[in-house]
C-alpha cells in the first residue's frame, strides 16, 4: 500500500550509492524529455562508451541451418558489424524454431555461449508440446519464414495467409520525431531504424503492425486510452514498481503479452492472434503506428506465437502457454472487507458486527498492517493479543465467515541487542536473506523500518517461510493470505549498510509514512462549505457534488484521440552466473518512472543464492513469493484450495494467486478504469481480479461508493478497502450504499454457480470469465468498449460511471438475432431502434442483462454467507431465444478441494417443443436440491406444466404475461438425476 498524501519527492531519499537529487532529475530529463515541443533525440545511453545510435547496427547473418525433430530449425548466426549502441555486442547467436502445438509456435533467439539470463524451468515451466516429427510444421496453422542476410523472420497464419509478426525492416516504418504520451513528448518514441540488436545489456527487435492496429495487453498498466492500447503513442515499461496506480506508466506486474485483432470485413469476423515474450529483465515495448518494438536490458528473445483465430482462442492458448489458472474456493467469491486503520481486534470485530446488523452480507474480514507490532511481519501488536485474536477468528468461522491477514514482503530486522524476532533470526541463521554484492545482508526499509528481503532462489527459504506461517497459524487460523509490497518495495534507494558502513553509522533515514491526521483532499467534486467530510449526496437538502458551480465529469469516459505523428541445454550452463557490467545503471535506461532501477525497490545489484543478481529476476520476485506461499497454504491446509491475493505478478501467476489492481483512487475515473484492469488480467490468465472498491487513496462519497459497490459485485474479486484516516467507506455508513450493496450482493450470490462454472472452464481451457464485448460479438464497433463488459457469454453489465447522472447509454449486440433480458425484472430490452440503448438507472441501480438463448444454474436464495446460500438449494433461469431455444452448462463441485477430482456437469437444453431437459454427467454428488425454475420468453399462459411427465400443482406455477415468464417453484429435485419440464 502507498500513503498517497506524502510528496512523491520524498520517495527518492539519498542512500548509499544513490545519485544526488539534481542528477536524478537531469537523468530523467535526458531519458524522457517530457517537453512541450517535439524533438528527434533518441534515448541517450548512461555511459559515454556507447553510441545510442541503432542506425549503425546491421544485424546478423545466418551461418548454418539444421532441420529438427519438431518440424522446425536450429540455426547459427553471426554479427554483421560492430554496433555497441547500448552494450557490448554479442557476436554469435542461435535460433531455435519449434512447432509445439497446431496453434503455438516457439521462436527463440539467444546467445550461443548461453551467458544471457533465462528463467529456469522451476520458476517458469515451459509449456508442453503436442506436435513432434519432421512434419510437425505441416500440422501447424503457423508458418515460420526467414531471410538470411540480414536475418529477419516473419510468422504467417496459414488458414488466412495473414502475416502476424514481421521483422523485415523494409516493412516497418521509422520515426525520427518524438510523439506525446500523456501530453508530453517522449524520447522513447523515436524509432530511427529496425535492425536486430543483441548486446549484453540491450536487445532490440521490431515487427510491422497494420495501420491503427487493435492491440490489447502489455501490462500491468492503467492505460489512458482504455483497455485497447494507443497504437500510435505507447511506451510500456516492464519493471515491477511500488506506485499508486499511475496512468501510462509501469506499475506492479509484468505481463509482456499482447493480443492483436485484425478485422476481416469480408467474413465479418475478428481474427486475432497473440504474442508472448518470455523475458524477466527490464524492458520497454513501444507502439507507434505500424510498428511494435521491444527493447530489453538483458535476457533473450524467447517468443511464443499464438494463432487464435478468435479472441477467446488467443486467451485460452496463452493460458495453456503460461499455466492455466487455479480454480478458486467458492467462499472467495463472497464480499470482502478491509481497511488500513482497524487498530485492534475490537475495532475489527465491531465492523463485522455492524455489517451483520445492517444486513450486508460479509464473507471475509481482512486486516491490514495494523495487526503487526510496529508493522513487523508475523509479530502481534498489543491490540491484537493472541488469545483475543484467536477467539475473534473462531467467532468468524462459527458464523461461516472467513479471515485474511496481510503479509508484506520485507522482514524487519532486530532493533537492538535485547530485541528478538524469530523469523529474522531463523532466516539469518540459514542465510536466506538477499545480499549486497559483498556478501552482507541487503538492508532496505519498509513499514517496520530497516528490513531484509527473502531470497526465493535459496532452497532453504521455503523452510523459513513455512515455519513463519506455521507459527502464525497456531494463533491466526487464516483462510487466505494477502501478499502486499512484493515488487518488492523499499522506501530507500540502495542498501542502508554493507561491509564498509554499519547500520549504526548509516546516513540512511527511513521515511516516516505514519499518517497523523485526515488527508486534506475532499471527496471528488464536493464543496466543503456544504458537504464537509460526510461524503453524503445531500446535506440539509442541498446537493453536495459540484455545489460550487462546477461538477467535474469522468474524463476516463472520454475516448482519448490517438496522437498521429527450450530445452534445458538452451538455458544457463550449470554454475554460470551472468556478468553484468553496468548493473546499477544499464546503458539503456528503460522508462522506469521512478527513475533509477533501485528507486523504491531493492537495488538491481542485490544478490541471490548462487550469485544471481536482482537485475535479471526483479520482475519475478513477487511471482516467486506467491508460488512459495501457495505451497505453504497447501501444506498447512492439505486438500483445500489456497487463496492468495498478490500485488506484483508475472506471466503464469494465475496458477497460484489472485490479484487486486493496487492502490487506486476514490474517483469516478478510477471506478471506470477498474474495468480495464479486470479485462486485462482476465486476458493474462489471472482471472480472480478486482479493484479496491470505492477507492483506496483519498476520500470517497456516497454516490461514488454506491455505484462502485454495485459495479464490483460483478467482478471476480470483490473487496472494499481504503487507506488509514480517510473517510470511512464501509457500506453501512450510508443508507443508500447499504441498500445498493445488499441488492448487488444478493444477485452476486445467486450467480455463484455460474461464476464457479466460468472458473472451472478457465482452469480447464483458459477461457476468461470476464470478457469485452468483442470476444463474443465480432463487430469492429465494439473494439474500444470498456465501459461495459461480459461475465461469461451470458451476462452483460452496464454501470453508471458518471457523477450526477441517472441514465447511461450502453451497447446491446443484436448479432444473429440476440436480444437481452433484464436480470432484475425479466423484461426484454427494446433494441428495435438500434443496439445503442439508454438505460434509466437511478442511484442504487446497475444494468445487468441476460443474453437470449441462455440457461443458468443459480442459487435459489442468497443467504448471509456463501455456506448459507449454498445450503438454500438451486434454481434454473432460462431465457428463450426467438425460436424457443436455449442451452447452458453448469459445472458443480464441492467448491473447496484441490485437485478437483469430483465434478458433475449439468447440460441444459430447451428446444422449440417447450421442453427443458437437464442431463448430468460426472462423479460429484450434488447435495442441494433444485427449488425453482424460471423460464423467460413464453408468450402464452401455459394451461399446465409437467415435471418428468407429472403435472405440477397450479399453486406452484406463476405466470407474468408482461415479461412472458413462467416460474415453477416449490420443487425438491435431485440434480444428480436427469429431468425434464414441459409447458403446454
- For the stretch 633-651, what's the b/e string if a residue is b when 16 or more beta carbons lie within 10 angstroms of its beta carbon? beebbeeebbbbbbbbbbb
Q: How many helices (H) and strands (E) does the chain have?
A: 14, 51
Are 752 and 866 within 8 A, CB to CB? yes
Are 340 and 368 within 8 A, CB to CB? yes
Dihedral sign, Cα of residue 12, residue 13, residue 15, residue 20: positive
In the numeric block, the cell 554479427 is attached to 79
- Cα–Cα separations (whole angstroms), residue 105 to 227, 271, 664: 26, 17, 38
Integer Cα distance of 712 and 535 in angstroms: 20
Three-state secondary-structure class, residue 60 = strand
- Selecting among 220, 484, 626, 845, the annotated active-site residue is 484
Kindly report the number of other CB atoms within 10 A of residue 346's CB atom: 12
In this structure, what C-alpha cell is assigned to residue 251?
506499475
Q: How far is CA 98 from the centre of its chain?
A: 29
Integer Cα distance of 106 and 815 in angstroms: 36
Note the residue count of the chain: 984
Integer Cα distance of 696 and 4 in angstroms: 9
- Selecting among 98, 663, 701, 881, the annotated active-site residue is 663
Are 190 and 196 within 8 A, CB to CB? no
Are 318 and 685 within 8 A, CB to CB? yes
**Rounded to the nearest 10 degrees, what angle do helices 735-750 and 702-712 cross at?**
0
Beta bridge partners of 605: none
Q: Is 347 a catalytic residue?
A: no
Strand 283-288: give its sheet, edge to edge: 197-199, 202-208, 291-296, 283-288, 234-238
- Selecting among 260, 363, 487, 524, the annotated active-site residue is 487
Please return the burial class of 385, using the count of CB atoms within 10 Å of its CB with bins 0-12, 13-18 and 19+. middle
Integer Cα distance of 249 and 238 in angstroms: 9
- Cα–Cα separations (whole angstroms), residue 961 to 717, 935, 939: 37, 12, 7
**At a CB cut-off of 8 Å and minimum separation 6, what does 829 contact?**
812, 819, 820, 821, 822, 837, 849
Closest CA to 210 of 275, 163, 175, 178: 163
698: left (phi over 0), alpha (psi -120 to 50) or beta: left
Q: What is the Cα gyration radius of the chain?
A: 28
Run of H or E residues at 252: none
Q: Is 487 a catalytic residue?
A: yes
Looking only at the bridges linking them, the beta strands covering 836-840 and 151-157 are: unpaired
Are 333 and 129 within 8 A, CB to CB? no
Integer Cα distance of 653 and 106 in angstroms: 20
DSSP 8-state class, residue 372: B
Integer Cα distance of 155 and 143 in angstroms: 6
* Composition of the chain by helix, strand, coil, percent to 5: 20, 25, 50
Are 844 and 739 within 8 A, CB to CB? yes
Dihedral sign, Cα of residue 227, residue 231, residue 233, residue 234: positive
What's the N-to-C CA distance of the chain in angstroms?
60
525: left (phi over 0), alpha (psi -120 to 50) or beta: left
Q: Is 493 a catalytic residue?
A: no
Q: Residues with catalytic annotation?
A: 484, 487, 663
Amino acid at each position: 500500500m502507498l500513503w498517497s498524501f506524502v510528496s512523491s519527492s520524498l520517495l527518492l531519499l539519498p542512500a548509499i550509492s544513490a545519485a544526488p537529487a539534481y542528477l536524478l532529475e537531469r537523468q530523467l530529463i535526458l531519458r524522457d524529455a517530457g517537453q512541450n515541443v517535439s524533438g528527434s533525440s533518441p534515448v541517450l545511453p548512461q555511459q559515454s562508451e556507447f553510441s545510442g545510435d541503432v542506425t549503425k547496427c546491421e544485424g546478423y547473418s545466418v551461418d548454418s541451418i539444421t532441420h529438427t525433430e519438431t518440424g522446425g530449425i536450429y540455426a547459427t548466426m553471426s554479427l554483421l558489424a560492430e554496433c555497441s549502441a547500448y552494450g557490448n555486442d554479442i557476436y554469435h547467436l542461435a535460433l531455435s524454431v519449434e512447432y509445439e502445438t497446431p496453434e503455438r509456435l516457439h521462436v527463440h533467439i539467444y546467445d550461443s555461449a548461453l551467458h544471457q539470463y533465462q528463467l529456469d524451468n522451476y520458476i517458469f515451466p515451459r509449456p508442453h508440446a503436442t506436435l513432434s516429427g519432421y512434419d510437425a510444421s505441416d500440422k501447424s496453422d503457423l508458418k515460420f519464414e526467414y531471410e538470411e542476410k540480414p536475418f529477419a523472420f516473419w510468422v504467417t497464419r496459414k488458414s488466412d495467409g495473414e502475416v502476424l509478426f514481421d521483422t523485415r525492416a523494409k516493412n516497418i516504418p521509422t520515426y525520427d520525431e518524438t510523439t506525446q504520451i500523456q501530453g508530453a513528448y517522449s524520447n522513447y518514441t523515436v524509432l530511427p531504424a529496425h535492425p536486430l540488436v543483441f548486446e549484453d545489456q540491450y536487445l532490440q527487435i521490431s515487427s510491422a503492425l497494420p495501420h491503427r492496429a487493435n492491440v490489447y495487453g502489455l501490462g500491468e498498466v492503467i492505460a489512458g486510452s482504455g483497455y485497447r492500447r494507443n497504437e500510435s503513442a505507447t511506451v510500456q515499461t516492464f519493471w515491477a514498481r511500488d506506485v499508486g496506480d499511475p496512468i501510462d506508466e509501469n506499475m506492479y506486474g509484468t505481463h509482456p503479452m499482447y493480443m492483436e485483432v485484425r478485422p476481416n470485413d469480408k467474413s465479418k469476423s475478428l481474427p486475432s492472434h497473440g504474442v508472448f515474450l518470455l523475458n524477466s529483465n527490464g524492458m520497454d515495448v513501444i507502439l507507434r503506428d505500424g510498428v511494435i518494438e521491444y527493447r530489453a536490458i538483458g535476457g533473450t528473445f524467447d517468443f511464443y506465437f499464438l494463432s487464435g483465430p478468435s479472441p477467446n482462442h488467443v486467451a485460452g492458448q496463452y493460458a495453456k502457454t503460461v499455466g492455466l489458472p487455479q480454480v478458486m474456493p467458492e467462499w472467495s467469491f463472497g464480499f470482502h472487507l478491509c481497511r488500513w486503520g482497524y487498530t485492534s481486534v475490537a475495532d475489527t470485530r465491531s465492523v463485522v458486527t455492524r455489517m451483520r446488523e445492517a444486513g450486508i452480507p460479509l464473507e471475509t474480514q481482512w486486516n491490514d498492517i495494523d495487526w503487526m507490532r510496529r508493522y513487523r511481519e508475523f509479530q502481534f501488536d498489543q491490540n491484537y493479543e493472541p488469545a483475543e485474536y484467536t477467539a475473534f477468528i473462531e467467532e468468524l468461522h462459527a458464523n461461516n465467515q472467513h479471515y485474511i491477514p496481510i503479509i508484506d514482503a520485507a522482514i524487519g530486522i532486530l532493533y537492538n541487542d535485547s530485541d528478538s524476532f524469530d523469523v529474522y533470526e531463523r532466516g539469518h541463521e540459514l542465510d536466506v536473506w538477499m545480499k549486497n554484492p559483498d556478501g552482507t545482508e541487503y538492508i532496505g526499509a519498509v513499514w517496520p523500518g530497516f528490513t531484509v528481503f527473502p531470497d526465493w532462489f535459496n532452497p532453504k527459504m521455503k523452510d523459513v517461510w513455512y515455519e513463519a506461517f506455521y507459527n502464525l497459524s497456531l494463533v491466526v487460523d487464516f483462510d487466505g493470505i494477502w501478499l502486499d509490497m512484493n515488487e518488492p518495495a523499499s522506501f530507500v534507494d540502495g542498501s542502508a549498510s554493507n561491509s564498509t558502513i554499519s547500520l549504526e553509522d548509516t546516513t540512511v533515514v527511513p521515511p516516516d509514512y505514519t499518517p497523523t491526521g485526515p488527508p486534506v483532499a475532499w471527496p471528488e467534486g464536493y464543496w466543503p462549505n456544504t458537504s464537509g467530510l460526510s461524503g453524503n449526496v445531500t446535506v440539509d437538502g442541498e446537493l453536495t457534488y459540484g455545489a460550487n458551480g462546477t461538477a467535474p465529469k469522468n474524463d476516463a469516459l472520454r475516448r482519448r484521440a490517438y496522437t498521429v505523428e527450450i530445452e534445458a541445454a538452451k538455458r544457463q550452463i550449470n554454475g554460470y552466473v551472468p556478468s553484468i557490467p553496468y548493473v546499477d545503471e544499464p546503458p539503456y535506461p528503460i522508462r522506469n518512472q521512478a527513475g533509477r532501477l533501485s528507486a523504491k525497490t531493492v537495488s538491481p545489484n542485490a544478490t541471490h543464492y548462487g550469485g544471481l543478481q536482482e537485475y535479471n529476476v526483479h520482475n519475478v520476485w513477487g511471482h516467486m513469493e506467491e508460488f512459495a506461499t501457495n505451497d505453504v497454504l497447501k501444506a498447512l491446509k492439505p486438500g483445500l484450495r489456497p487463496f492468495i491475493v498478490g500485488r506484483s505478478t508475472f506471466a503464469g501467476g494465475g496458477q497460484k494467486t489472485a490479484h487486486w489492481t493496487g492502490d487506486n483512487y476514490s474517483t469516478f475515473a478510477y471506478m471506470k478504469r477498474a474495468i480495464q484492469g479486470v479485462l486485462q488480467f482476465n486476458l493474462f490468465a489471472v482471472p480472480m481480479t478486482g479493484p479496491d472498491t470505492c477507492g483506496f487513496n483519498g476520500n470517497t462519497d456516497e454516490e461514488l461508493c454506491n455505484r462502485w459497490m454495485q459495479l464490483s459485485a460483478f467482478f471476480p474479486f470483490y473487496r472494499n478497502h481504503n487507506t488509514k484516516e480517510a473517510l470511512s467507506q464501509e457500506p453501512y455508513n450510508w443508507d443508500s450504499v447499504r441498500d445498493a450493496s445488499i441488492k448487488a450482493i444478493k444477485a452476486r450470490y445467486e450467480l455463484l454457480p455460474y461464476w464457479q462454472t466460468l472458473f472451472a472452464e478457465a482452469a480447464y481451457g483458459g477461457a476468461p470469465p470476464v470478457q469485452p464485448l468483442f470476444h463474443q460479438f465480432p463487430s469492429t464497433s465494439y473494439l474500444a468498449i470498456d465501459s461495459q463488459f461480459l461475465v461469461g457469454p451470458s451476462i452483460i453489465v452496464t454501470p453508471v460511471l458518471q457523477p450526477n447522472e441517472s441514465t447511461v447509454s450502453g451497447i446491446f449486440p443484436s448479432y444473429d438475432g440476440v436480444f437481452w433480458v433484464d436480470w432484475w425484472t425479466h423484461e426484454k430490452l427494446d433494441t428495435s431502434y438500434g443496439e445503442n440503448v439508454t438505460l434509466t438507472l437511478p442511484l442504487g441501480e446497475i444494468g445487468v442483462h441476460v443474453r437470449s438463448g441462455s440457461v443458468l444454474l443459480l442459487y435459489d436464495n442468497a443467504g448471509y454467507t456463501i455456506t448459507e446460500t449454498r445450503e438454500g438449494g438451486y434454481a434454473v433461469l432460462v431465457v428463450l431465444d426467438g425460436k424457443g431455444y436455449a442451452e447452458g452448462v453448469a459445472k458443480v463441485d464441492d467448491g473447496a478441494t484441490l485437485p478437483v477430482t469430483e465434478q458433475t456437469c449439468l447440460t441444459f437444453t430447451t428446444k422449440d417443443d417447450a421442453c427443458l431437459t437437464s442431463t448430468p454427467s460426472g462423479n460429484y454428488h450434488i447435495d442441494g436440491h433444485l427449488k425453482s425454475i424460471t423460464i423467460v420468453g413464453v408468450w402464452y399462459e401455459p394451461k399446465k406444466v409437467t415435471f418428468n411427465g407429472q403435472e405440477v400443482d397450479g399453486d406452484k406455477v406463476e405466470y407474468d404475461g408482461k415479461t412472458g415468464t413462467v416460474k415453477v417453484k416449490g420443487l425438491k429435485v435431485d440434480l444428480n438425476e436427469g429431468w425434464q419440464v414441459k409447458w403446454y
